[in-house]
A = this chain, B = another copy of it.
Amino acid sequence: MTEPLPQGATIGILGGGQLGRMLSVAASRLGYRCHIFEPGAAPAGDVAFRVTTAPYSDTAALRAFAETVDVITYEFENVPTSALDLLESLRPIRPNRRALAVSQDRISEKTFLGDLGLQTAPWAAVNSESDLRAAVARLGLPAILKTTRLGYDGKGQVKLESETDIPAAWAAMDNAACVLEGFVAFDREVSVIAARSPDGSVAAYDPGENIHRDGILRTTTVPARLTAGQRSDAVLLAARILNALDYIGVMGVELFVTRAGLLVNEIAPRVHNSGHWTQQGCSVDQFEQHIRAVAGLPLGDGNRYADVVMENLIGDDVLRVPALLKERDTAVHLYGKGAPRPGRKMGHVNRITRG
C-alpha cells in the first residue's frame, strides 16, 4: 500500500464499540465504507457498511472479513495474536503489529519507553507475593499493582496503601503477571493525541487535561494548563514514540506533569477517549485523522478553533441526556449501547467554552 486508498474502498475495523462507530462515521466523510469485525454486540454496526459477528478464533470468518477489505485497523489493543497473524497474511494492518505488541503488555511498554529515554513512573515486575513484597520495599507506598495485560478503565488493578494490603492485592491478581507502579506526585494529567502517516509526517492536537475517577476518564479540557515549554515537550515526546514505532494512525499518549518533567503513564495505539473533544474543536477530528493516516491521505494539521470540555457519560449519567440536550453550545454523542451499567461508557458531551 503506497498509493492512497481510493474512494469507495473498504476499511476493516477490529472491534465494534463506540470508537469503531465514530471511526466508521469519519470514514464515510472521506468516501470510504467500513466492515466491522466484532465477537459481541456492535454499536458500530448501526453506521457501518457491513458487520461480521464472530469470535476471533473463527478463522473462516476472519479470512472472509479480510477478503472484503482493503486495509485493516482496530479500535482496541487486545486482539488475540493468532487472529492478527492470520489477518496480516492477507491484508495490511495499520497501526503495525509492533505498536500493538508493545502496548499490549505494560512491561514491554515501559521497557520500550525507557529505551527511548522517556520517563515513566518507577516500576517493578511482579510474579509472586515475594516479588510484590520486594517491589514495595524498593518503590515505597502508596503504589498500584496492575496486570501486565488486558487492563483498561481501572480494571485489573489495585492500589496498595500499606504493607498489610500485600497478600490481598496479590491474591486479587489471580497469579497473572503484574507490574507494581510507584506513586507519582503529579500536578496534572494530560494527554497528547498524535498521528503519523505512511510518509512519516506527524501531526498532534493540543494536549488535553484529563480528570479520572475510579480509573475511568471523566473529563478532558482543552487547552490544558501547561506552559509553552511543557506543551511542546509533550508533542515532541509523542512524535518520538510514533517515529520509533514506524507508526501509522492515531495514538493516545497519557502523561503526568510533574516538577521533574513529563512522565509517560500509558500509550494506546488507537483513537483515544481523551481525543473526543476534537469532534467539536477541529476541522479534522481524531477519528478522521486516524482514517486519513490508515488510508494514506494527508493528515489534518491538528489546528484547534474552539475551546472544549469533554465529559464522559458513564452508567446512569446517560439519564441526564434530556437535560444535556437543552444545554447551549453542547454537542451530545451517544453510543447506542442500550441499558446503562455502572462503569459503562454510554456517550459523551463536548461543551464549547470559547468559539
Query: Which residues of A290-335 are within 8 A (CB) of B?
Result: 292, 297-298, 301, 303-306, 322, 325-326, 328-335
A306-B305 in contact given A8-B338, A334-B29 (Cβ < 8 Å)? yes
A336/B7 in contact, CB under 8 A: yes
By a CB distance below 8 angstroms, the chain B residues around A94 are: none
Can you report 16 A-B residue pairs in the complex whose CB atoms are below 8 A from each other?
A7-B334, A8-B336, A28-B336, A29-B332, A29-B333, A30-B332, A33-B46, A34-B46, A280-B283, A283-B331, A283-B350, A284-B331, A298-B322, A298-B325, A301-B328, A355-B355
The proximity string for A residues 201-213 relative to B, scoring 1 for CB distances below 8 Å and 0 otherwise, is: 0000000000000
A28/B47 in contact, CB under 8 A: yes
Task: Give chain A's interface residue range (CB within 8 Å of chain B).
Answer: 35 or more
Q: How far is the CA of A347 from the CA of B28 in the complex (A)?
A: 11
Q: Which of A32, A305, A350, A352 has the most chain B CB within a 10 Å cutoff?
A: A305
The 7 A-B pairs with the shortest beta carbon distances in the complex, nearest first, are A305-B355, A31-B334, A283-B331, A47-B47, A28-B47, A298-B325, A298-B326
Q: Which of A4, A45, A306 has the most chain B CB within a 10 Å cutoff?
A: A306
List the number of copies, as a whole number: 2
Query: Which residues of A93-109 are within 8 A (CB) of B?
Result: none
Q: How far is the CA of A332 from the CA of B336 in the complex (A)?
A: 26
Query: Which residues of A26-46 are within 8 A (CB) of B?
Result: 28-34, 45-46
A305-B292 in contact given A28-B336, A31-B347, A47-B28 (Cβ < 8 Å)? no
What residue in chain B is nearest A49 (Cβ atoms)? B46
Q: How far is the CA of A45 from the CA of B355 in the complex (A)?
A: 33
B25/A28 in contact, CB under 8 A: yes
A21 at the interface (CB under 8 A from B): yes
Q: Smallest Cβ distance from A13 to chain B, in angstroms?
A: 13
What residue in chain B is nearest A10 (Cβ atoms)? B46
A325/B297 in contact, CB under 8 A: yes
Beyond A28-B336, A30-B334, A292-B325: 16 further Cβ-contacts under 8 Å? Answer: A7-B334, A24-B47, A25-B25, A29-B332, A30-B332, A31-B335, A32-B336, A33-B46, A45-B49, A283-B331, A297-B322, A298-B326, A301-B328, A305-B306, A305-B352, A305-B355
